[in-house]
Amino acid sequence: MRKPVISKYGQQAILIQWESIISPEINQLVVDTSNYLNEHFGSAILEIVPSYQSLVIYLNEGFTPTSLITELENTNWSIDSSLKTSSIWRIPVCYDASFGLDLESISQTRELSIESIIKLHTEPDYRIYGIGFLPGFLYLGGLNEQLFSPRRRVVKRFAPKGSVAIGGQQTGIYPQESPGGWNIIGRTPIELFDTKVNPPTPFSIGDSVRFFEINRHEYAEIEQEVKLSAYNLTSISND
């Protein structure tokens, strides 16, 4: 495996970084390393926060970054970094103009029809590279370059809950109403984060998302099923 750079991160944390590129292989290293650390150094670890090509290890009291860094640097990490079998989650999206607040502007700037935008957006399987800045916000890589759209200069006061949006080379979903600068192209009626269930989100970094189009009537039906806890989010294996 490619050896990462390990450094102190504040008073009680460690930063592990790989190459600064968006890559499924590097992100898989992040996932596998997180699992390896929890297995071999679990007593020292309070929390691990993974991202695209890095992870932060927050340590329990009684453990210091310096001593653990030395131990990590002297460890022969036998990690299988090949891409693993994971879940592909099928997420319904309504691209109606009332939900896709920025569809028209993307259509004009990218010189694409609305139908072409929807087709291009629903074709790929998107890898989940990170979860945050809001609880349950999915950062998804794999967007068709024809849809690349810079974040908006003026942040919207509120991006509605469930908004599916494009920010630069990524697409993502707002799990709750929030200020946001991404370009909103649709909305999903499903719950991405629910504190009433354990775990509160079914998604994991390394999983994939596959969007499929629904109309307003189907949106309303699924929304009602979600409220009644009667909607089953489906996934398939990518092996």
- Of 147, 133, 135, 132, the residue nearest 211 (C-alpha): 147
> Within this chain, do residues 126 and 177 fall inside the same structural domain, yes or no?
yes
> Within this chain, do residues 207 and 136 fall inside the same structural domain, yes or no?
yes
> Within this chain, do residues 55 and 173 fall inside the same structural domain, yes or no?
no
pLDDT digits (tens, 9 = 90+) for 5-62: 999 999 999 999 998 888 888 898 898 888 889 988 999 999 998 888 899 999 999 9
Query: Locate tokens 């994991």: which residue?
Result: 204
Is residue 78 situated within a structural domain? no
Is residue 80 situated within a structural domain? no
pLDDT digits (tens, 9 = 90+) for 49-108: 888 889 999 999 999 999 889 988 887 666 665 556 579 999 999 999 999 999 999 999
pTM assigned to the model: 0.83
> Within this chain, do residues 173 and 232 fall inside the same structural domain, yes or no?
yes
C-alpha–C-alpha distance, residues 81 and 5, integer Å: 17
Is residue 79 situated within a structural domain? no
Supply the range of the domain harboring residue 224: 87-237
Backbone angles phi, psi at 63, to 5 degrees: -120, 140
How many domains in the chain?
2
CATH of the domain at 35: 3.30.1360.40
Tell whether omega for the bond before 193 is within 30 degrees of 0, i.e. cis.
no
